[in-house]
Amino acid sequence: MKAIPIMRNTNYKLIAAGCLTMLAAACSVPPLVQRNENKNVPQTFRGSTDSLNTVQTVKWKKFFSDPDLTALIDTALKNNQELNIMIQEITVAKSEVRARKGAYLPFVNAGGGVGIDKMGRYTRLGAVDATTYIEPGTQIPEVLPDYLLAANLSWEVDIWRKLRNARKSAVYGYLATTAGKNFMVTHLISEIANSFYELMALDNQLFILKQNIKIQQDALEVVKIQKKAARVTELAVRRFEAEVLKNQSRIPRIQQSIIETENRINFLVGRFPRPVQRNSWTFIDIEPDSIKAGIPSQLLQNRPDIKQAELELVAAKLDVNVAKKYFYPSLNIIGAIGFEAFNPAYLVSKPESMMYNMGAGFFGPLINRNAIKATYYSANARQIQAAFNYERAILTAYIEVSNQLSNIDNLKKSYEKRSKQVQKLTESIDISSKLFKSARADYMEVLFTQRDALDSKFELIETKRMQLNAKVNMYRALGGGWD
């Protein structure tokens, strides 16, 4: 009689030893080589002494003062298909957060069921049922129905915060998606602005080209008169006619570029092709606003792509932590409560119909943990990728700002020189024409002067467009446009 307690104690010890062995084996996590991100940035941009970033104080509606341009941007922020697709991605990420939050709460479901069961008479259960009476004169039916109304519970107790960290990872993924949307907004605004300025530049080039053709046609008439007077040959007439035809052939190309640029804007705005409203006569007089770059560390707060990369890095670190916890044992609780009977009349009217069960299990991986290891190593590799991606985002942002600072400065110098060049060549057209009429200049000098003047005006407009594009690109590089 005394051997039974001793045997029970021995069994308990064996069970406890087995559990400890399983726990020790399950908790042995393979080592990893991780990478910490480098957040160090230079103190200044090319020696700049600015301490305040322009985009912190100027919003895009004030930065882009042209009413036609701001109207286009407003429409694009509502109708652009790619942006709206990204907004739906945010909704998906938000739903993922909700799903992860529900994972560490108990799952309870309720319902009912009906079935039928017949045991063989010459089986243990069949023989018992054949001789069992529920009440006097009432025997258990040979064909046994089964009616059930019950609620079931299943719950993985989050003892290692595995599920909560998974939810946190989903939250940071959601925030990263929001930052990605902001980054898209910044690019969308800058792309519309650059296309708008390109459209204005094309309008001005078309106008100047038509003006120059008129001047060349007038010069052609003078050359024809000079030929009749035997002061020039037929060669001069042919050269001027060829020059007029060459410039006339450029008109359709510019018109095609205008149509394509308008349609690019229409696509970004999310509408079918239509003329784009603009006032191109003010293009050459637009003065690019001065932009303060601030200090490089401000990019970490203003650039949405850096913010996105940072949030993705935090989420990746949490994913590594979650993958690690799968090596640990998990505690699962299951249970059910309800009513079950072979007769609907007994289902709720008899206390004997009540049923319930409750159980718990503490299980951990012991043999064949390759799937968990693969998930763990993959999560660590993604964390290393996210760290490199974060560093690349910072480096890209710094280089973009540095390039645009230099670009703005050099384009300003170039525009000043080209303005003087256009002025000198415009004056040269009148001088060469007068000298030609007085037979003191060759017709080729007139031709080349007109050609050089046209090219210089085109180059001046192109430089102005590049100036305005540099202003837009600088605003984007500093992280503007999305707030």
Domains identified in the chain, total number? 2
Q: Is residue 85 part of a domain?
A: yes
Q: Residue 96 has what pLDDT?
A: 87
Least confident of 116-120, 430-434, 452-456, 470-474: 116-120
Section 22-34 average pLDDT: 66
Between 434 and 172, residue with greater pLDDT: 172
Give me the chain's average pLDDT, please. Answer: 86
Print the SS3 string covering 358-394: EEEEEECCCCCCHHHHHHHHHHHHHHHHHHHHHHHHH
d(CA 251, CA 259): 13
Per-residue pLDDT tens for 322-380? 999 888 888 899 999 999 888 888 787 777 888 889 988 877 787 778 888 899 999 99
430 and 291 fall within a common domain: yes
- 121-135, 161-175, 219-233, 441-455: which has the minimum mean pLDDT? 121-135
Examine the domain organization and report whether 140 and 30 are in the same domain.
no
Question: Do residue 318 and residue 346 come from a single domain?
Answer: no
35 or 263, higher pLDDT: 263
Confidence of residue 293 (pLDDT cuts 50, 70, 90): confident
Q: In this predicted model, which residue has the larger pLDDT, 460 or 353?
A: 460
Q: What is the pLDDT of residue 387?
A: 95
Query: Rounded to whole angstroms, how far apart are CA atoms 39 and 300?
Result: 9
9 within a domain of the structure (yes/no): no
Is residue 101 very low, low, confident or very high in pLDDT (cuts 50, 70, 90)? Answer: confident
Q: Are residues 193 and 219 in the same domain?
A: yes
Higher pLDDT, 2 or 417: 417
Q: How many CB atoms lie within 10 A of CB 1?
A: 4
List phi, psi (to 5°) of 306. -70, -45
34 close to 272: Cβ distance less than 8 angstroms: no
Mean pLDDT in residue range 271-292: 91
Residue 25: per-residue pLDDT: 52
239 with 296, same domain: the answer is yes
Q: Is the pLDDT of residue 1 over 50?
A: no
Residue 138 sits in the same domain as residue 172: no
141's CB contacts (< 8 A; 6+ apart) are 342
Secondary structure (3-state) at 233: coil
Q: In this structure, is residue 4 part of a structural domain?
A: no
Residue 108 binned pLDDT confidence (cut-offs 50, 70, 90): confident
Mean pLDDT highest for which of 77-81, 162-166, 214-218? 77-81
**Host domain of residue 308:** 21-104+160-329+369-477
Above 60 in pLDDT, residue 5? no
204 occurs within a structural domain:
yes
Could you say which of 315, 338, 363 is where a domain stops?
363
Burial 228-258 (b: 16+ CB within 10 A, else e): eeeebeeebbebbeebbeebeebeeebeebb
User: Could you tell me if 127 and 212 lie in one domain?
Assistant: no
Q: Please say if the pLDDT value at position 381 is more than 80.
A: yes
pLDDT at position 44:
82
Highest mean pLDDT among 32-46, 181-195, 348-362: 181-195
Is pLDDT of 290 > 90? no
pLDDT at 76 over 80: yes
Q: Among 15-29, 266-280, 435-449, where is mean pLDDT lowest?
A: 15-29
Selection from 426, 463, 460 nearest residue 212 by Cα: 426
Under 8 Å between Cβ of 169 and 99: no
In a domain, 13, yes or no: no
**What does the pLDDT read at residue 2?**
43
Give the list of residues 6+ apart from residue 54 with CB closer than 8 angstroms, or none.
291, 292, 293, 294, 475, 478, 480
Residue 326 burial (CB count, 10 A): 20
Spell out the residues 6+ positions from residue 432 whose beta carbon is closer than 8 angstroms to its own: 441, 445, 446, 449, 450
Q: Which has the closest alpha carbon to 183: 458, 479, 470?
A: 479
- Domain identity same for 100 and 42: yes
Residue 453: inside a domain:
yes
Q: Are residues 187 and 253 in the same domain?
A: yes
Radius of gyration of the chain measured on its C-alpha atoms: 40
Residue 11 included in any domain: no
Mean pLDDT of 287-307: 86
CA atoms within 13 A on the CB side of 21: 7
Check whether residue 80 and residue 174 sit in a common domain. Answer: yes
Question: Structure pTM?
Answer: 0.83
Whether residues 76 and 140 fall in one domain: no
DSSP 440: S
The enclosing domain of 114 has a CATH number of 2.20.200.10
HEC per residue, 16-75: HHHHHHHHHHHCCCCCCCCCCCCCCCCCCCCCCCCCCEHHHCCCHHHHCCCHHHHHHHHH
Q: 239 with 270, same domain?
A: yes
Q: Give 341's strand partners.
A: 147
pLDDT in tens, 190-244: 999 999 999 999 999 999 999 999 988 988 888 888 888 888 888 988 988 999 9
- Under the banding of pLDDT at 50, 70 and 90, the label for residue 3 is very low
CA 171, CA 108: separation in Å to the nearest integer?
A: 25
Q: The tokens 């503007």 sit on which residue? A: 480
Cα–chain center distance at 14: 56
| pLDDT for position 287 | 87
What percent of the chain has a predicted confidence (pLDDT) above 90? 46
- The domain that holds 32 is classified in CATH as 1.20.1600.10
Q: What is the pLDDT of residue 4?
A: 45
The arithmetic mean of pLDDT across residues 311-315, rounded, is 95
Residue 313: pLDDT band by 50, 70, 90 thresholds?
Answer: very high
Q: Is 319 exposed, middle or buried (0-12, 13-18, 19+ CB in 10 A)?
A: buried
> Which band of pLDDT confidence, cut at 50, 70 and 90, is reported for residue 184?
very high
Output 418 or 145, whichever has higher pLDDT: 418
Q: How far is CA 82 from the centre of its chain?
A: 10
* pLDDT surpasses 90 at 465: yes
Q: Is 482 contained in some domain?
A: no
